[in-house]
Amino acid sequence: MHQSTQYQSIFSSSTARERAINFESYWGFSKQHAGELLEAEKDLANKRERLRAFQNDPVRSRKPLANPSAFHRNYKKLLDHPKTLDRKTLLLTCIYKFARHEWMGIQAAWNVVPSMAEARTVKERISRVHLAEEFCHARLFNEMFRTFHLEVEWEPLSLLQQTFYQFFARLPGEIMNAPAFVTELMGLTFYHHLDAAFDHILTDEPEARGRLRALLHEIMVDELAHVGQRRNFIGSLGIRFAKLIVRPMYHLFFQGIPEADELFDINQMIREGLAFDYSEVSPALLARSWVPSYCRVSEAAQPF
- Tell me if 29 sits within 8 A of 292, measured CB to CB: no
3-state secondary structure of 301: strand
Does the pLDDT at position 4 exceed 80?
Answer: no
Radius of gyration of the chain (CA): 19
Does the pLDDT at position 300 exceed 50?
Answer: no
Q: Of 45, 92, 38, which is closest to residue 65 (Cα–Cα)? A: 92
Cβ atoms within 10 Å, residue 267? 11
What is the distance between the alpha carbons of residues 156 and 159, in angstroms, rounded to a whole number?
8
Q: What percent of the chain has pLDDT over 90?
A: 89
Task: List 44's β-bridge partners, or say none.
Answer: 37
- pLDDT at position 91 is 98
- pLDDT at position 298 is 60
Mean pLDDT over the full length of the chain: 94
- pLDDT at position 258 is 95
- Tell me if 131 sits within 8 A of 110, measured CB to CB: yes
Helix intervals (H) in 148-257: 159-169, 173-201, 206-231, 236-255
Task: List 4's β-bridge partners, or say none.
Answer: 300
Q: Mean of the pLDDT values across residues 247-259? A: 96
For residue 109, the one-letter residue type is: A
Does the pLDDT at position 286 exceed 80?
Answer: yes
Lowest-pLDDT choice from 114-128, 148-162, 232-246, 258-272: 148-162
Does the pLDDT at position 204 exceed 90?
Answer: yes
Contacts with 239 (C-beta within 8 Å, 6 or more apart), sequence order: 11, 13, 178, 231
Q: How many CA atoms lie within 13 A of 119 on its CB side?
A: 15
Burial of 49 (0-12, 13-18, 19+ CB in 10 A): exposed
Supply the pTM of this predicted model. 0.94
pLDDT level of residue 297 (50, 70, 90 thresholds) = confident
Q: Mean of the pLDDT values across residues 58-73? A: 94
For residue 213, the one-letter residue type is: R
